[in-house]
Amino acid sequence: MKNLKSTVLRWFEQGLIAEDCLPKALVTAQESQTNIATAIQWSALISLLLNWLGGLLLGSGIVFFVAANWQTMGAFARFALVEILLLCSITAYVIVRRRAIRAGDHHGFGFTSANAILLISALIIGSLLALVGQTYQTGADPWQLFAIWSLFILPLAFVSGNELLWLLLAGLVNLALVLYFQTFPGSMELLFGSSTMVAVLFALNLCLHLACCLLNGRFFTTDLVLKARFNLPLFQQLTILAALAAITMLSIEALFDEATGLWLIVYTAVICLGYLLYNHKLKDIFPLAIGGYSLVTVVNCLFIRVAVESSDLVSMFFLVGFSIIGSTTGITLWLKQRHKAFSKGAQASC
């Protein structure tokens, strides 16, 4: 394990290490010189990876099996098969979870064998909803399937505290919104203008990111169990990435369409607040990186617009090229400096 200190701190945040035992655990991690995983650690990792890969393959196999045998199986047989498999998966989860509790895992958050079974249940729920829609022709619009599916797997994601289930939930909600606006393209146009879908996706992913940070205790101290349940770093990174991608698209559109100029104000506010939050309080390099390169993109798009409207196109595009190289180099060097500063701060706090 290359970073024992961060692992010990993560265990402390999850409530697995008592507060009075934390200094001793940090000293032990500091004194440890081995960076080579043991055979037991490799065995546990491989077993966990195989469990989750098996869960993904099994859940996907159920969906493809029902789809491939749609014509040969009757409605009763299709429903019986999927519902029995759903009951079996829930029963298996209860059995495996009870064993984990007896072994000392009282919370069961993260990538555990029991949560791999919940992933299978989530995929089976999706196939069951699709089966209902195809059989009874309910929910003719595809967005309804993904919206209801995300609603049904919300309790599973909350109970498991597993990042993969939360990512599945976020993906389903985003997909449902995209399909909704494709079905009803004029919805909310009075509020957000012509780029309604991108604006709503920006608001949705930003809210998901901030809610996860809030529940995870990044803004202020929360309950240890709640903090462990929402310990979802990849979820936070992907949601802020989606939100920044959406607002960047809106701001670039606003550069060339003065009717949507309000989004430039929103974009400026997001970049400034994000800089204050992630550079001074949370000290997180990933949002700073995507925000910095987003700013480089928007600023250079502004220069491109000026170049297009200029009478001397050759000179202006030459300056734009220098601007792209210079701004990209500058933001990269700044990010490197901030990463070193954050690393020194983390080592000092340890």
Q: Where exactly are the structural domains of the chain?
A: 1-30, 39-182, 185-350
Provide the token pair at 27. 């000293």
Q: What confidence tier does 138 reach under pLDDT thresholds 50, 70, 90?
A: low
What are the C-alpha distances in Å from 121 to residues 70, 104, 109, 254?
21, 24, 16, 44
Q: What is the mean pLDDT of residues 159-182?
A: 94
Could you read off the pLDDT of 23-72 as tens digits, one per residue? 777 777 666 545 566 777 788 888 888 888 988 898 888 888 888 887 88
Q: What is the mean pLDDT of the chain?
A: 86
Q: What is the mean pLDDT of residues 98-125?
A: 90
Least confident stretch, 100-104, 120-124, 132-136: 132-136
Q: DSSP character for 280?
A: I
Largest CA distance in the chain: 76
65: closest CA among 121, 127, 118? 127
Q: What confidence tier does 192 reach under pLDDT thresholds 50, 70, 90?
A: low
pLDDT at 67: 80
Q: Radius of gyration over alpha carbons of the chain, in Å?
A: 25
Q: How many CB atoms lie within 10 A of CB 137?
A: 8
pLDDT at 36: 61
Share of residues in the chain with pLDDT > 70 (%): 90
Per the CB < 8 A criterion, the answer to whether 149 and 129 are in contact is yes
pLDDT at 272: 96
Measured between alpha carbons, how far is 72 from 66 in angstroms, rounded to an integer? Answer: 10
Could you read off the pLDDT of 313-337 as tens digits, one per residue? 777 888 888 999 999 999 999 999 9
Measured between alpha carbons, how far is 231 from 150 in angstroms, rounded to an integer? Answer: 20
Q: How many CB atoms lie within 10 A of CB 59?
A: 22
